[in-house]
């Protein structure tokens, strides 16, 4: 995957934008179309105390509501740390929004003020689809794109 190209495209598309939903929609679209193994790419937004709701996404339907206490997305929202799950069947309390999902990468999304805005969730029908490079490069892109988001 060409992360330098993705980074350039996202900077051009998102330059000057601070609206969270607009940024999430653009990032979800670009990442989904770029990552060869992503079957579902989207955001879950923090909408209340310990509660995530679906945001902009690409792919089939997603779960509408995820409490911080459940699943991979909830675990990332609770801990503030990324999770790369090579086998979702081995993750305790995995929420199966799609029965075909085999692996998942979930990253926290922070703004520059340190507020958790949500999580970016990439699902794949391929086991162990996501790499340490995916995690590192997407984390850096998210930090930059959402720095001034409100």
Angstrom distance (rounded) from CA 132 to CA 47: 29
Per-residue pLDDT, 98 = 77
Contact 56, 25 (CB under 8 A): yes
Per-residue pLDDT, 149 = 95
Q: Give the length of the chain.
A: 150
Contact 30, 10 (CB under 8 A): yes
Whole-prediction pTM: 0.96
Per-residue pLDDT, 92 = 82
- The residue among 5 and 62 whose pLDDT is bigger is 5
Convert the pLDDT of each residue in 80-100 to its tens digit: 999 999 999 898 877 777 788
Average pLDDT score over residue span 127-145: 98
pLDDT at 40 over 90: yes
Backbone phi and psi for residue 121, each to the nearest 5 degrees, phi listed first: -120, 120
Convert the pLDDT of each residue in 46-80 to its tens digit: 999 999 999 999 999 889 999 999 999 999 999 99
Average pLDDT score over residue span 9-13: 97
């Amino acid at each position: 995957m060409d992360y330098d190209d993705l980074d350039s495209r996202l900077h051009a598309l998102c330059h000057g934008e601070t609206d969270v939903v607009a940024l999430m929609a653009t990032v979800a679209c670009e990442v989904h179309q770029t990552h060869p193994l992503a079957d579902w790419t989207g955001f879950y937004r923090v909408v209340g105390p310990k509660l995530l709701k679906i945001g902009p996404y690409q792919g089939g339907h997603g779960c509408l509501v995820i409490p911080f206490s459940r699943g991979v997305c909830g675990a990332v929202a609770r801990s503030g740390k990324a999770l790369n799950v090579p086998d979702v069947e081995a993750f305790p309390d995995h929420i199966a929004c799609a029965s075909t999902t085999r692996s998942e990468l979930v990253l926290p999304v922070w703004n520059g003020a340190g507020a958790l805005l949500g999580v970016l969730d990439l699902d794949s029908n391929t086991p162990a689809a996501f790499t340490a490079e995916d995690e590192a490069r997407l984390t850096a892109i998210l930090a930059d794109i959402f720095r001034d988001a409100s």
